[in-house]
Amino acid sequence: MADGPQRFRTGARERGRGHGLGLTIALGQAHVIGAGLDFANAAGGGAIATVRLPEHPLR
């Protein structure tokens, strides 16, 4: 968790050497639109991804 999503990185040997590009692409796209994307471990296992969208006034 401290390193954030990185291309082709995983800690699970049974899943191979990486998890692909999905989280890295999502993080990059969030950055482009000024959004935040946070990752955490779920209490019962698994993961939590939280997207914080920027506020923009209605036009």
Closest by CA to 36, choosing from 49, 47, 17, is 49
Position 43 scores a pLDDT of 93
Position 52 scores a pLDDT of 93
Q: What is the pTM of this model?
A: 0.56
Q: What is residue 40's three-state secondary structure?
A: strand
User: Mean pLDDT by 10-residue block, N- to C-terminus, for the chain (59 residues)?
Assistant: 58 59 84 89 87 79
Position 55 scores a pLDDT of 86
- The alpha helices in 1-59, defined as continuous H runs, are 22-32
Position 35 scores a pLDDT of 92
Position 50 scores a pLDDT of 92
Strands (E) across the chain are located at 36-41, 47-52
